[in-house]
Amino acid sequence: MQQKGDIAVVGLAVMGQNLILNMNDHGFTVVAYNRTTSKVDEFLNGNAKGTNIIGAYSIKDMLSKLKKPRKVMLMVKAGEVVDQFIDSLIPQLDQGDVIIDGGNSNFADTERRVKTLKKKGIYFIGTGVSGGEEGARFGPSMMPGGMMEAWPTIKPIFKAIAAKTPNGEACCEWVGSGGAGHFVKMVHNGIEYGDMQLICEAYQFMKDLLELDNEHLSAIFTNWNQTELNSYLIEITANILKFQDKEGYVIDRILDTAGQKGTGKWTGINALDLGIPLTLIAESVFARCISAQKNTRLQAERFYGKKAYPHTPISSALLHDLQQSLLFAKIISYAQGYMLMQEASQTYNWILNYGDIALMWREGCIIRSIFLEKIKAAFDRSPQLQNLLFDDYFKSLVQKALPSVRRIVAKGIETGIAMPALTSALSFFDGFTTARLPANLLQAQRDYFGAHTYERLDKAYGQFFHTDWIGSNSNVSSSGYNV
Ligand code: NBP
């Protein structure tokens, strides 16, 4: 008799196939199912040939081939498809069976699914899986959340297949209840947008202002990969820049309009909902939006007669400033991302472990970097750390980088190189470190035109005052509200 499967994976596109092969490599018996069943045979006769992977041709067939409690992992297109598949699974599942959604689902959908399935006695886990095709095959970063009761049954599989840090720790930990896993994955993707945008801004600065060729640019990124910036994204940037095919450098033929699948946008929307100044990620999303308006940009450049960038001679001091600027902005971006997670943890009643999150991102995912070890160390030193910028190690990096950042941002502004992410990092920092901002005037304006009231510096906070700015003798004020 055929051995029963430890887990089923539904969805035999790039992520599903590679996760199954990864699970098989680690000694788990996997049942593979796909809506279009011809793909099951293609997989079994192709990449899965010679493995212990079991094919299934219907939901019933798949469930009959699993050990109990049955564990079914969905690697299908996020959105309605997940709901549809869960609906067709429910009547055939028993209490205690586990559904795992490993797609890029919106965390609010995961919260809803957890609640619905809890009522039916079925466990639900929403897990972020990062690292793309290669990660799925050889070790992704995994961010599971949902019903913790189900964690012990899937933990051995997840820990085994996840990426490992140089110390051998698995980049997979329990994140929290409800949609916490998918939330953390969403923030990961937002941070990815920021990291990528910053690299692109440094690239444009060097390409257009310093007029460096691709080989030189690649060498600089390779060099930066030996510094605190060491990361997957810097590494692939160096490779991309020097890559040539028969027609020459590929990078020079790629249209400068960026696509997006929405997780950066979700992160920005959530930050606005929670009132967190996630400026760098938001600017990175908008930078993709402006890049997508190629025709309008062509027209605008002609309309305003944009002048050529003034040539700036390369110097080691300038390159050092640029490297320091990238590091500074990266610290700000991660600090903002952690601010968002800290607020979300309170708002949605999760208990997020911030050090573990850094560990999960250390390897296997797109933002993997040495830098994340430092974040983990900061939260290990101080689990209640209020903000990454209050950690002494990061403070020393920021203070060292600050003069460089000011020089680079000034240069960009002076010469007309758009650097929205870097500039926003500096603006955020300057606001964050200013005890007294001009919001007193803003409050006065709000009170003037809308009787929105204000608090006073010389009275206890929480008391609200209204001034009759135009002598109307009205003492009616607007009800207080926070946005
Ligand atoms: P896709 O996101 O392209 O989804 C394709 C899979 O969804 C196929 O197996 C397809 O079955 C299945 N599917 C669809 Br479409 N509609 C279905 C339905 N109504 N019922 C059942 N199955 C249905 O695959 P992917 O790129 O492997 O990604 C899988 C998940 O992982 C997604 O949520 C994605 O966002 C996430 N993710 C992807 C990456 C990446 O690098 N690609 C990285 C991290 C996370 P069919 O063959 O019958 O059409």
What integer best gives the mean pLDDT of the chain?
96
Is 228 noted as a catalytic residue in this protein?
A: no
Which pLDDT belongs to residue 472? 84
What CA–CA distances, in Å, run from 434 to 139, 171, 287, 335? 43, 37, 27, 17
To test the ligand 1 pocket, which listed residue (19, 22, 35, 89) has its Cβ within 8 A of the most ligand atoms? 35
Question: With contact defined as beta carbons under 8 Å apart, do 142 and 120 qualify?
Answer: no
pLDDT score recorded for residue 82: 97
User: Which amino acid is residue 306, in one-letter code?
Assistant: K
Ligand 1 centre from 130 Cα, in Å? 14
CA distance 470 to 448: 8
Q: Which residue reads 């055929």 in tokens?
A: 2
Q: Which amino acid residue places its CA nearest to atom 36 of ligand 1?
A: 103
- Probe target for ligand 1 pocket from 75, 188, 365, with the most ligand atoms within 8 Å of CB: 75
State which ligand 1 atom lies nearest to the alpha carbon of 105.
Answer: 33
Q: Whose CA is nearest to atom 12 of ligand 1?
A: 76
Active site residue 411: no
Among the listed residues 54, 57, 120, 136, the one whose alpha carbon sits nearest the alpha carbon of residue 87:
120
Q: Give strand pairing partners of 130.
A: 141
Q: CB of 354 within 8 A of CB of 184? A: no
Q: What residues does each domain of the chain span?
A: 7-178, 186-432, 441-483
The rounded distance, in Å, linking the Cα atoms of 205 and 209 is 5
CB atoms within 10 A of CB 455: 14
Residue nearest to atom 18 of ligand 1 (CA): 81
Q: What is the pLDDT along the chain (483 residues), one digit of tens a residue?
A: 678 999 999 999 999 999 999 999 999 999 999 999 999 999 999 999 999 999 999 999 999 999 999 999 999 999 999 999 999 999 999 999 999 999 999 999 999 999 999 999 999 999 999 999 999 999 999 999 999 999 999 999 999 999 999 999 999 999 999 999 999 999 999 999 999 999 999 999 999 999 999 999 999 999 999 999 999 999 999 999 999 999 999 999 999 999 998 999 999 999 999 999 999 999 999 999 999 999 999 999 999 998 889 989 999 999 999 999 999 999 999 999 999 999 999 999 999 999 999 999 999 999 999 999 999 999 999 999 999 999 999 999 999 999 999 999 999 999 999 999 999 999 999 999 999 999 999 999 999 999 999 999 999 999 999 999 999 887 777 765 554
- Name the amino acid, one letter, at 423: T
CA of 15 to the centre of ligand 1 (A): 8
**Which residue in this structure is represented by tokens 């081939």?**
65
Q: For position 479, what pLDDT does the model report? A: 67
Residue 256 neighbours by CB distance under 10 Å: 10
- Fold of the CATH domain 186-432: N-(1-d-carboxylethyl)-l-norvaline Dehydrogenase; domain 2 (1.10.1040)
Under a CB-based contact definition with an 8 Å cutoff, are residues 147 and 370 in contact? no
Answer whether 366's CB lies under 8 Å from 131's CB: yes
Give the per-residue pLDDT at 483: 47
Ligand 1 atom, smallest distance to 133 CA: 41
**Is the torsion defined by CA of 363, 365, 369, 372 positive or negative?**
negative
Angle, in degrees to the nearest 10, between helices 279-292 and 316-347: 110
pLDDT score of 480: 56
| 107 Cα to the center of ligand 1, angstroms | 17
- Tell me which residue has its CA closest to atom 40 in ligand 1: 132
From residue 8, alpha-carbon distances to 12, 69, 182 in Å are 11, 12, 20
* 254 Cα to the center of ligand 1, angstroms: 26
Give the count of beta carbons closer than 10 Å to the beta carbon of residue 464. 16
Cβ contact 131:365 at 8 Å: yes
pTM of this prediction exceeds 0.85: yes
Measure 329 CA to ligand 1 centroid, in angstroms. Answer: 34
Interval between CA 14 and ligand 1 midpoint (Å): 8
Contacts of 57-65 with CB under 8 Å at 24 or more apart are 57/33, 58/33, 59/33, 59/88, 59/89, 59/92, 60/92, 61/33, 62/8, 62/10, 62/31, 62/33, 63/8, 63/92, 63/93, 65/2, 65/4, 65/5, 65/8, 65/31
Query: Contact 192/334 with Cβ under 8 angstroms?
Result: no
Ligand 1 center–CA 16 separation, angstroms: 8
Q: What is the pLDDT of residues 103-153, one digit of tens each?
A: 999 999 999 999 999 999 999 999 999 999 999 999 999 999 999 999 999
Q: Ligand 1, residue 39: give the atom nearest the CA.
A: 47
Helix H, strand E, coil C: the string for the chain is CCCCECEEEECCCHHHHHHHHHHHHCCCCEEEECCCCHHHHHHHHCCCCCCCCEECCCHHHHHHCECCCCEEEECCCCCHHHHHHHHHHHHHCCCCCEEEECCCCCHHHHHHHHHHHHHCCCEEEEEEEECHHHHHHHCCEEEEEECHHHHHHHHHHHHHHCCECCCCCECECCCEECCHHHHHHHHHHHHHHHHHHHHHHHHHHHHHHCCCCHHHHHHHHHHHCCCCCCEHHHHHHHHHHHCEECCEEHHHHCCCCCCCCCHHHHHHHHHHHHCCCCHHHHHHHHHHHHHHCHHHHHHHHHHHCCCCCCCCCCCHHHHHHHHHHHHHHHHHHHHHHHHHHHHHHHHCCCCCCHHHHHHHHHCCCCCCECHHHHHHHHHHHCCCCCCHHHCHHHHHHHHHHHHHHHHHHHHHHHHCCCCHHHHHHHHHHHHHCCCCCCHHHHHHHHHHHHCCCECCCCCCCCCCECCCCCCCCCCCCCCCCCC
Which one from 192, 201, 283, 363 is the annotated catalytic residue?
192
Answer CATH for 7-178 from 3.40.190.10, 3.30.450.20, 3.40.50.2300, 3.40.50.720: 3.40.50.720
Per-residue pLDDT at 482: 52
User: Among residues 185, 242, 376, 411, which one is catalytic?
Assistant: 185
pLDDT of residue 306: 87
Q: Determine the residue of 9, 10, 12, 15 to mutate for testing ligand 1's pocket, defined as the one with the most ligand atoms within 8 A of the Cβ atom.
A: 15
Q: Are β-strands 244-245 and 248-249 bridged in parallel, bridged antiparallel, or unpaired?
A: antiparallel
The CATH superfamily assigned to 441-483 is 6-Phosphogluconate Dehydrogenase, domain 3 (1.20.5.320)
Q: What is the dihedral of CA 309, 253, 236, 21, to 10 degrees?
A: 160
Helical axes 294-304 vs 279-292, angle rounded to 10°: 80
Nearest CA to ligand 1 atom 1: 77
Interatomic CA distance for residues 161 and 130, integer angstroms: 12
- Ligand 1 surroundings by CB, under 6 angstroms: 11-16, 34-36, 39, 75-78, 81, 84-85, 103-104, 129-130, 132-133
> What token pair was written down for 158?
């997840």
